[in-house]
Amino acid sequence: MSAVAAPTVELGVTESAAEEIKKFFEGEEDLTNTAGLRVRVVPGGCSGFQYSLNIEEDSRQGDFVLDRHGIKLFVDMFSAQYLNGVVIDYTSNMMGSGFTFENPNATGGCGCGTSFSA
């Protein structure tokens, strides 16, 4: 019998994204040390899927819990298949500022940068 490797997810966060995420955490009151950022993919957007970021008090059963730059990231099993290899960045320019997602799994996208197809 061969052992089956447990599924994993690799999700990157740049230093600039980590700094912005930490600012959000500092703005929240009464967060426990179990709190983290839920990173997920939800159906919708103009290309089929869109990214969602939310601060949550704790992980859920079945979540992947990752630590990036001292920030806990929670990823559910559904989202993990679309987020593996993704790098979250934070950019600021003349057009505005916000989180961007570099997704090597995406087969298409749209101009807004928050929607993709796989």
pTM here is 0.82
Residue 43 lies in a domain: yes
d(CA 111, CA 44): 15
Residue 3 lies in a domain: no
Residue 109 lies in a domain: yes
Residue 90 lies in a domain: yes
pLDDT digits (tens, 9 = 90+) for 26-36: 888 888 889 99
Are 13 and 71 a contacting pair, CB within 8 Å?
A: yes
pLDDT digits (tens, 9 = 90+) for 86-107: 999 999 888 788 898 888 877 6
Are 57 and 32 a contacting pair, CB within 8 Å?
A: yes
Residue 60 lies in a domain: yes
Q: What token pair was written down for 53? A: 């970021």
pLDDT at 115: 52
| 83 contact partners, CB below 8 Å, separation of at least 6 | 9, 11, 39, 40, 41, 75, 103
